[in-house]
Amino acid sequence: MTARVGVVTFPGSLDDGDAARAVRIAGAEPVRLWHGDPDLRGVDAVVLPGGFSYGDYLRCGAIARFAPVMETLVDAARGGLPVLGICNGFQILCEAHLLPGALTRNQHLHFRNRDQVLRVEAVGTAWTNAFQSGQEILIPVKNGEGCYVADAATLDQLEAEGRVVARYVGGNPNGSQRDIAAITNPAGNVVGIMPHPEHAVEALTGPSLDGLGFFTSVLKHLVGAPA
């Protein structure tokens, strides 16, 4: 049976269509979910896409965190549902307290849009098991509020527990502490990433095919998950 991966659309979402396309290319069925509907439609995993949910008012992701769909999603994620938050989706996961820390204004106060090398470090998550530890990948980054910050104790805990999923290599585009580009929760089913893997799944439009591994990883994870 084909896995069904939900992609949530919020007012101001920008990359929901791209995320759905990446899901389809990976071999799953994308299921469009609406911010105002708490029904997850029985999906096997969920992607929170990039964009500017609710216009990024208050803080990025701060309003989206209270959307009806998030009430259901938070409980499902805590129950083991795989969830990938990309860019704005990462911000929403932090606002919803599914991931620690916060994403703040880029230190240089400029929007950054470029192809970025990452080093994948945690490969035991639902979204990164297709990679090798230490593998370097190239995917686009585009953000104005992508600077990951947390207190020293939280950063040390992420390091000690192997929950830093990926780091920036060859230059930090936003000033994120310890070059952090992606993190995971203790269970490994929730991952937040600031760069955009959904923009690196086709040779025609992306700088590489490296982003596809995030989407094939969750399919591999679902096959191995208990029924």
Model confidence band, residue 7 (pLDDT cutoffs 50, 70, 90): very high
The tally of domains found in the chain comes to 1
User: Rounded mean pLDDT of 155-175?
Assistant: 97
Determine the pLDDT at residue 227: 47
At 226, is the pLDDT very low, low, confident or very high (cuts 50, 70, 90)? Answer: low
Counting residues of the chain whose pLDDT is more than 90, the rounded percentage is 89
Here the CATH number for the domain that contains residue 165 is: 3.40.50.880
**For residue 125, how many C-alpha atoms fall within 13 Å in the half-sphere facing its CB?**
30
> Is 121 designated active site?
no
Alpha carbon 184 to its chain's center: 9
To the query of whether residue 198 is one of the catalytic residues in this protein, the response is yes
Segments forming the whole domain that contains residue 184: 4-224
For residue 89, give the nearest of 12, 174, 166 by alpha carbon. Answer: 12
What is the reported pTM?
A: 0.96
Q: Pick the catalytic residue from 60, 94, 145, 196.
A: 196
Q: What is the pLDDT of residues 96-145, one digit of tens each?
A: 999 999 999 998 989 889 999 999 999 999 999 999 999 999 999 999 89
Query: What's the pLDDT score for residue 224?
Result: 85
Rg (CA), the chain: 16
**DSSP assignment of 18-69, as one string?**
HHHHHHHHHT-EEEEEETT----TT-SEEEE--B-GGGG-SSTTTTGGGSHH
Q: Which tops the pLDDT comparison, 23 or 56?
A: 23
Considering only CA atoms, which of 26, 24, 11, 9 is closest in space to residue 215? 26
- pLDDT over 50 at 169, yes or no: yes
Burial class (CB in 10 A: 0-12, 13-18, 19+), 6: buried
Q: What is the mean pLDDT of the chain?
A: 96
Q: Which member of 147, 198, 199, 221 is catalytic?
A: 198
196 annotated active-site:
yes
Catalytic residue among 87, 94, 121, 199: 87
Cα distances from 57 to residues 11, 12, 61, in angstroms, run 12, 11, 8
CA–CA separation, 112 and 115 (whole Å): 10
